[in-house]
Amino acid sequence: MERIKQLRDLINAHNRAYYVDNNPTISDREFDALMKELEELEKAHPELDDPLSPTHRVGSDLTRGFTQVVHARPMLSLANTYSIGEVDEWVTRCNEALGGEGGFDNVPVVGEMKFDGTSISLTYEHGRLVRAVTRGDGEKGDDVTENIKTIRSIPLVLAPGSWPESFEIRGEIVLPWKEFDRLNAERAFNEEPLFANPRNAAAGTLKMQNPAVVASRGLDAYFYYLLADELPADNHYDNMAAARSWGFKVSSAMTLLHSVKEVDDFINHWDEERRTLPVATDGLVFKVNNLRQQLNLGFTAKSPRWAIAYKFPAERALTPLRFVSFEVGRMGIVTPVANLEPVLLSGTIVKRASLHNEDIIRTLGIHEGDTLYVEKGGEIIPKITGVDVKARHEGAEPIKFVTHCPACGTPLIRIPGEVSWQCPDKYGCPPQLIGRLEHFVGRHMMDIDGVGEENCALLYNAGLVRNIADFYDLRAEQLQGLDRIGPRTADRIIEGIEASKSVPFDRVLYALSIPFVGETVSRKIARQVRSLDALMAMTADQLTSLEEVGPKIADAIVDFFAYAPNLEIIERLRAAGLQFALPDEEPGETSDRLAGKTIVISGVFARHSREEYKQIIEKNGGKNAGSISKKTSFILAGDNMGPAKLEKAKSLGVPILNEEEFLAMLSDEA
Ligand code: IVH
């Protein structure tokens, strides 16, 4: 159908104008209308479907795990420096290595931004995207094509042009500041851990299993390296200009430089100017422009000699300390926080910075009223790195750590061998009680919709919820009329509480706030003991025989269940209908699904330990072997599988399964 093709081309062109050129050529409404027309036509003509149609950018289906792909050309890193002088020396070195006559004019250099994201390699054949692979270990990476397809500034099908039949283009997947701030605000609201910087957020997003979620994150991509047997030009700058004309986003900061002075000016200019960019950058990259000269300079084992990265120094500011506050967390740990005169740092105003513990205050030697150095590197969390001792007021006293809990007045204790002071009044100290409520409703625990951090304090202070069991006695009428809680929110909270009754046992265990029993430990304990009753019946000795449980955790568990008010809470939770046991038919139970199969385990895993995988294999009738041979049925591969093993598996044609695929195989209906 001609119209389908026409619509795809049209939408691709508008997408490019919007996402690459930042120059929309059509209103959102008109765009949506075109998209809708295309969707309907495609629905009516499924035989004309094209996986690269712009309608597939939303990424609807769930992919399981990622296949590993060996890079046609290894993805190297760059030599780094923090000094302009060293960049100048690198320029001189390149000139000398290339003969030296004629000076710098004969070795032009391209200056570009060093984007702070996660690198990607895209392969195009006949003008179509065929594969997107992460850097991985440089030799091989993960195939993340489905996720990459959701990034609208990446062309799926190139406009007609003089692109090579087959080429690779490398660039950086980034999360623009705007999207990063939005994502973290949303995570803060949901009480999920914040991303420290856009780089982590971009890398994490790219590895997500559900492309639909990736699509919602607003990733973007800048490209900086074109590779092909036959390139359009004999120099980097013109190749990137060609890539730009094919529809790739290439930064307009890219500049041809002809002298050491121009290189230095470029650095000085972008050191300030980078703040105006929509994405995070952590430095600049300089590359010898001429490809023949690049070839002559060659590579070291790790990086090209023809390029160097200049990293921006971490930003630092000096600001007076107003006072140190002491804050009590869920486990009673008292954290000192420096409250500062507000100061602008890397685009945000900093008012507070954690001082972590007493030792850090002492090591830094902080006195009352001191002027402090605050730093913010690639991280969003500001750090106190020093004191301007010259600015100290005469007679200023060193900061003293509090001796009593600032919330409930109980004398603090210091756990032997630990750096932190703790309020021992676990069951009476309000911030500890509220902290445990906040933990209980959190996303990874009971995931109770509608009750955020603020609402926990509100419910506690209103006397409605004093412990976690009280949630299950709440009625909507009690909530209505509390600050910021209308009838709709009240209903949502009650529904969320109701829904939490089906949260699996391992998360219930985590939600209880037993000291040292975090997410992983809870999961491991739940898998081994299967029920809360079994756990409560165990002695400290029995507990230490469990995987992941040492004496410290064992004692904490025994103490927790020895405390009568906890038992009362547990009985109320049981009566409310919470899950106190894992269902019997978990994958990993015995079966003969792997009968006759010899399986090699390699790499590092996320869902189970290697030891657990061994047991799963054996329980299901399979055999675990140490090395790959013709007899190997398949390899269960985690991250960082050794290149030698990978090579051998390939040469013998042994299939490689990732853990998701393996677990799916065990849980599939036989
Ligand atoms: S060129 C062989 N150019 O920095 C040279 N890399 O530290 C390949 N990066 O892995 C890299 N901006 O992820 C190049 N303009 C730029 C870059 C850039 C960011 C990243 C890239 C690379 C890392 C090396």
Same-domain check for residues 295 and 329: no
Name the residue among 137, 134, 138 with its Cα closest to residue 146: 134
Q: Is 508 domain-assigned? A: yes
pTM: 0.57
Nearest CA to ligand 1 atom 15: 114
- Could you list the residue range(s) of the whole structural domain that residue 650 is in? 598-668
pLDDT at 586 (0 to 100): 53
Q: Is 305 domain-assigned? A: yes
> Which of 137, 170, 285, 311 to mutate for ligand 1's pocket (most ligand atoms within 8 Å of CB)?
285
* Max Cα-Cα span within the chain: 87
Q: Which amino acid is at 626?
A: G
Which atom of ligand 1 is the closest one to the Cα of 251? 15
Q: Are 239 and 164 in contact (CB under 8 A)?
A: no
> From ligand 1's centre to the CA of 168, what distance in Å?
15
Ligand 1 touching residue 119 (CB < 6 A): yes
pLDDT at 59 (0 to 100): 46
Lookup: tokens for 240:
């990137």
Q: Residue 124 pairs with which residues in a beta bridge?
A: 129, 167
Q: Give the CATH number for residue 20.
A: 1.10.287.610
Which atom of ligand 1 is the closest one to the Cα of 80? 7
Q: Is 423 domain-assigned? A: no
Give mean pLDDT in consecutive 10-residue pieces for the chain, a chain of 670 residues: 91 83 72 86 89 73 67 90 92 87 73 95 96 90 93 93 95 95 82 79 88 90 96 97 96 94 94 90 95 93 92 87 95 94 83 92 95 79 90 95 96 89 93 95 88 87 95 94 86 93 94 91 91 96 92 95 95 97 70 88 82 86 87 88 80 88 77
Which atom of ligand 1 is the closest one to the Cα of 77? 24
pLDDT at 102 (0 to 100): 47
Ligand 1 touching residue 77 (CB < 6 A): yes
Strand runs labelled E in 145-293? 166-174, 220-227, 255-257, 281-288
Q: Which of 5, 36, 114, 648 is catalytic?
A: 114
Nearest CA to ligand 1 atom 22: 77
Name the residue among 662, 668, 665, 554 with its Cα closest to residue 610: 662
Q: Give the CATH number for residue 391.
A: 2.40.50.140
Nearest CA to ligand 1 atom 3: 224
Same-domain check for residues 289 and 331: no
Name the residue among 583, 517, 573, 590 with its Cα closest to residue 550: 517
Q: Are 460 and 430 in contact (CB under 8 A)?
A: yes
Q: Are 346 and 276 in contact (CB under 8 A)?
A: no
Ligand 1 touching residue 122 (CB < 6 A): no
Contacting residues for 441 by C-beta, under 8 A, at least 6 apart = 191, 447, 448, 451, 452, 456, 471
Q: Is 472 domain-assigned? A: yes
Question: Of 369, 387, 414, at which residue does a domain stop?
Answer: 414
Question: Of 292, 311, 330, at which residue does a domain stop?
Answer: 311
> Which of 71, 75, 76, 77 to mutate for ligand 1's pocket (most ligand atoms within 8 Å of CB)?
77
CA atoms within 13 A on the CB side of 326: 22
d(CA 639, CA 662): 14
Ligand 1 touching residue 22 (CB < 6 A): no
Q: Is 541 domain-assigned? A: yes
Place of tokens 């007609």: 160
Same-domain check for residues 137 and 244: yes
Lookup: tokens for 535:
């756990």
Same-domain check for residues 659 and 524: no
pLDDT at 101 (0 to 100): 56
Same-domain check for residues 93 and 240: yes
Residue 594 φ/ψ, nearest 5 degrees: -105, 15
Q: Are 148 and 122 in contact (CB under 8 A)?
A: yes
Q: What does each C-alpha distance from 230 to 127, 155, 223, 288, 549 come to in angstroms?
A: 15, 21, 18, 19, 58
| Annotated catalytic residue 114 | yes
Ligand 1 touching residue 280 (CB < 6 A): no
Q: Which amino acid is at 566?
A: N
Contacting residues for 17 by C-beta, under 8 A, at least 6 apart = 23, 24, 25, 26
Spell 580-595 as b/e; 16+ CB within 10 A means b.
Answer: bbbeeeeebeeeebbe
Same-domain check for residues 299 and 371: no
Q: Give the CATH number for residue 547.
A: 1.10.150.20
Same-domain check for residues 320 and 302: no
Q: Which amino acid is at 191?
A: E
Name the residue among 435, 581, 434, 587 with its Cα closest to residue 509: 581
> From ligand 1's centre to the CA of 303, what distance in Å?
10
Same-domain check for residues 525 and 652: no
d(CA 400, CA 422): 15
Q: Is 422 domain-assigned? A: no
Strand runs labelled E in 26-73? 68-70
Same-domain check for residues 305 and 320: no
Q: Is 63 domain-assigned? A: no
> From ligand 1's centre to the CA of 58, what distance in Å?
28
Q: Give the CATH number for residue 296.
A: 3.30.470.30
Q: Is 530 domain-assigned? A: yes
Question: Of 414, 449, 472, at which residue does a domain stop?
Answer: 414
Total Cβ atoms within 10 A of residue 422: 20
d(CA 352, CA 521): 32
d(CA 426, CA 560): 11
Ligand 1 touching residue 294 (CB < 6 A): no
Same-domain check for residues 90 and 237: yes
How many domains are there within the chain? 5
pLDDT at 379 (0 to 100): 57
d(CA 86, CA 90): 6
Instruction: Give the containing element (helix H, strand E) for 626.
Output: none
Same-domain check for residues 523 and 629: no
d(CA 111, CA 133): 26
Q: Give the CATH number for residue 663.
A: 3.40.50.10190
> From ligand 1's centre to the CA of 77, what distance in Å?
7
Same-domain check for residues 604 and 572: no
Sort 179 into a burial class: Cβ within 10 Å, 0-12 / 13-18 / 19+: buried
Q: What does each C-alpha distance from 595 to 101, 598, 663 come to in angstroms?
A: 71, 9, 15
